[in-house]
Structure 1
């Protein structure tokens, strides 16, 4: 089983939606977290260490992870999805965009 981590800014809409739609997949253990201090679940080193693959919604999230966790990010598979912060939790368009973006990986 692969450990998958989804990351956005506040872990309220994009990464939480991704976690929700993939959490029942028997091939993956899925978590989500945010990079901001105001995040619902704030990312920490344990999340990074746990994850086999990290999907970030935007390039800035990747940069923040490299900045905050430089050692833990070594040799981690990171995928930047380029999904903008324009959706609400479980928005139908967001779900479609996530599924399309993740098809080649999951």
Structure 2
């Protein structure tokens, strides 16, 4: 008799969960949602772990690849770069955004484009605008210097 009560309860739980999953799928929502505390814990890397940083510009041609090259060898960072333009060398993907702990964009328009395209995925991501205009070529000395001055304070690294 005890087992039947438990069995019935499990069946009801499974039914309720499956209907919630189906409804969440219709709405494009992840279910079950992860608690805020767990999201923060997952997004904040431990001091001993590396930080995943995504650098973003328009075409992924000069600024973000330069940033990736400059910071690639830093022991506390894993870096990638991408562009917001459809004809970028590497267009920023949902996987890139999910991978990143921190997203550093060159201009405000890049932040706006990312938010327009990946609204849900960016809900708990840290995005910082570096305010670096499209005036530089790949590995331009002035661009490298700007990156070396601004990035450490944002990422709290040395």
TM-score range, shorter chain: over 0.9
Return the offset for 1:103: 2.4
SS of the residue corresponding to residue 102 of structure 1 reads helix
How far does residue 37 in structure 1 lie from its aligned partner after superposition?
A: 1.0
The aligned runs of 1:22-33 (5 Å cut-off) are: 22-33=71-82
Aligned to 2:133: 84
Partner of residue 97 from structure 1, selected from 138, 141, 146: 146
Q: TM-score, normalised by structure 2?
A: 0.66
**Deviation for aligned residue 1:105:** 2.2
Cα deviations across residues 65-89 of structure 1 (Å, max 9, x unaligned)? 0000000000100110000000000
User: Which structure shows the higher strand fraction?
Assistant: 1
Normalised by the length of structure 1, the TM-score is 0.97
More contact order relative to length (CA 8 Å, sep ≥ 6): 1
Summarize the alignment of residues 1-106 of structure 1 with structure 2, pairs less than 5 Å apart. 1-106=50-155
Query: If you compute each CA radius of gyration, which structure gives the higher value, 1 or 2?
Result: 2
Larger helix percent: 2
Paired residue secondary structure (2:143):
helix
CA distance in 1, matches of 2:58, 2:134: 9
Task: Tell me the residue number matched to 2:18.
Answer: none
Large movers: runs of 4+ above 4 Å: none
Q: What is the deviation of 1:99? A: 1.0
